[in-house]
Amino acid sequence: MSLAPTLSGAVSAPSLGSSHKAVQSCTLVIFGASGDLTSRKLIPALHQLFLEGQMPARFRVFGFARREKSDAGWRAELREALARFSRTQPVDDARWASFAENLYYHCGDLADGAAYQSLAARINAPDDAALQHNLVFYMATSPSHFGAVADRLHAVGLLQRKEDGDALWQRVVVEKPFGHDEASAHALNNQLTQHIRERQVFRIDHYLGKETVQNIMMFRFSNSIFERLWNRESVEHVQITVSEEIGVGGRGGYYEEAGALRDMVQNHLLQVLSLIAMEPPVSLHAESIRSEKVKLLQSITPLTAESVRRQAVRGQYFAGSHGGEPRKGYRQEEKVSSDSHVETFVALKLFIDNWRWSGVPFYLRTGKNLPVRASEVRVQFRPTPNVLFAAQATPESALQSNALTLRLQPDEGISLHFNGKVPGNSPKLRPVRMHFDYDSEFGAYTPEAYERLLLEAMAGDATLFIRRDEVEAAWRIVDSIRAGWGGAALSNREFYAAGTWGPVAADDLLAPLGHEWHNPQPLP
């Protein structure tokens, strides 16, 4: 079958640095193409970009995997998956057929050099320099294969070090986890950059592709009324919560090796923290933004074995119930040891050693089998003196501190909490809320994270991807916590029933400063 690609229309991509960005014709190769990520996320994202006219004028997508399949067979599988996972329903058969003409399957083992040679032959088949040399290699594989795949691509001439200003390019996109500690991340960084430059490596954290996560920076730096309050003079503390309603399910084997600290804190939570707390970048260019994020991570007060005992809490769920339905405990999950002490919940109290945030605690928590699925940031402002309202205050009308809540998912929006007078003759106060809702305000579906990230990778904009010094800085924080825990067994105060908000030890973490967790609630 001919490899000639079809045309898809306009080529422009929005970015933080400019309103439009050209996306050149290119070839995308997905390694691990028979996996769940390809059918659930990657192909639906590319198909959506195609429908919106944001794919390059000419493009090809090769799926590289070990199972024997034909181009037609792979396309049929993806069409079936699209009926389940596409955000545009129903799927238009004519538009799908036009998109599917650009999809090809390449059978091969990741360790077989001959498979890369035959891949190179197929990529070089059309007489089109852009399709031959503008290449995006997406590693949807186990992290243990990242370096070896890059080595073999280089050996057949598909992956080369590119100089600044080169018209033709190659890029490597890698999924998390990127290493399992700082040493392994450093080694993997070195292996990848043997053949390519750092600017050719795009480390994905899909959280950064979420519209509401991107909006953190825009909200901060485009609204003077909030940025002037964004410091130790006005902010008492900050809470970042990423709660998951489900248990580990079929990921028990992975969780036994990773745990919540590696799975969630090293990437998602520290990424959100860096955006919330970083200093203003000098521009909206990728390196300016990424440099400020790195500076923020490097400013977090180092954790010693002693401070870990005071500032880091683990937890693990046992059998409970949620919505009246029974939930099994972590130790009863598939591929989990019956005496496992792996954490399914983490809560941290971190401090940032810089002028803006000195003395302000940042509380981070994440866990499995919690009451709701939600990701949000709560900025708690310092309380006002209570002398004017002390006489009228009752437990029901106590003066509460102002707070700003940024809901990242679901029900994306921003809420400002303040005190208002209850109608009537008495001067009673009650907490009230002003709320901004993305859906009602903009009336449009928020794009999937992978749509934005794939588009930016093809455009070469690294703003939403993680730089090597950033990933290594995050691992240093996580490694210090793991070292402080030292493999000790969980205590009774660190277990929690499935369907609750975590262990008692997490409340103990906030108690010394008189703080308490604010649990995410459904927004109006």
The amino acid occupying position 378 is R
Among 184-188, 213-217, 335-339, 503-507, which is the least confidently predicted range? Answer: 213-217
Instruction: Name the H helices within 27-70.
Output: 36-37, 43-51
pTM for this predicted structure: 0.88
Q: What is the mean pLDDT of residues 229-239?
A: 95
Q: What is the mean pLDDT of residues 331-338?
A: 93
Domains parsed from the chain with CATH numbers = 26-175 (3.40.50.720), 208-513 (3.30.360.10)
CA pair distance 476, 481, nearest whole angstrom: 9
Q: What is the DSSP letter of 234?
A: T
CA pair distance 468, 452, nearest whole angstrom: 21
Dig out the tokens for 118 from the structure: 């035959």
Give the CA count within 13 Å in the CB-facing half-sphere of 373.
Answer: 8
437-453: per-residue pLDDT in tens?
877 776 655 668 889 89
Give the CA count within 13 Å in the CB-facing half-sphere of 426.
Answer: 10
164-212: per-residue pLDDT in tens?
667 789 999 998 888 899 999 999 999 999 989 999 999 988 878 777 7
Full DSSP string of 54-82: -S-SBEEEEEEESS---HHHHHHHHHHHH
Known catalytic residues are 268
Q: Are 347 and 497 in contact (CB under 8 A)?
A: no
Torsion of CA 129, 134, 135, 136, to 10 degrees: -160
Q: Is residue 76 predicted with pLDDT exceeding 70?
A: yes
77-136: per-residue pLDDT in tens?
999 999 898 888 888 899 999 999 999 999 999 999 999 999 999 999 888 889 999 999
Strands (E), 140-286: 170-174, 201-203, 235-243
pLDDT at 393: 55
